[in-house]
Amino acid sequence: MNAKKSFSRRPAIGPIFRRLFVVGAVWTAALVTLDHAVQAHIVMQHPGPLGESDIPQFLVQARCIACHDAREARIGPPFIAIAIRYTTADDNAKEFLAQKVLYGGAGNWGAMPMVANPQVTAEQARVVVRWILSLRPDQG
């Protein structure tokens, strides 16, 4: 009757998982903080207005080219396809696209959503949209 169960001497698993969860949460917070610092640095590299010659490098720094290319489809549509779709874009459509750059969205180009870009300012988004819409199929 006094027989002890063999598993009763093992350490409780719950505290171990709680410690792992806390460590994971700390690492996640550190990575998010680092990501925000990197994004702030990207914005600071272009404190003034973007010129047309600055845009290709800005697209690299803002990580746009991770999903987009000028002519080839990647995760997102190529810039030229956006330019063709919005050939007759008025100011409201341009502002809509700038907001998509800033806040992301889904449903316009298939199931894959576009991620938000908090590292990009509203004015930078507008300049990039104007540049994209200036592309023509017969260029380059």
pLDDT digits (tens, 9 = 90+) for 88-137: 999 999 999 999 999 999 988 988 999 999 999 999 999 999 999 999 98
- Per-residue pLDDT at 17 exceeds 80: no
Nearest to 77 by CA among 53, 100, 43: 100
What does the block give as tokens for 73?
Answer: 């489809």
Whether 111 contacts 58, CB under 8 Å: no
Show the CA angle centred on residue 128, arms to residues 122 and 129, nearest 5°: 90
The pLDDT value given to residue 118: 93
Section 66-75 average pLDDT: 93
Least confident of 19-33, 59-73, 86-100: 19-33
The pLDDT value given to residue 44: 41
Backbone dihedral region for residue 10 (phi beyond 0: left; psi -120 to 50: alpha; all else: beta) = beta
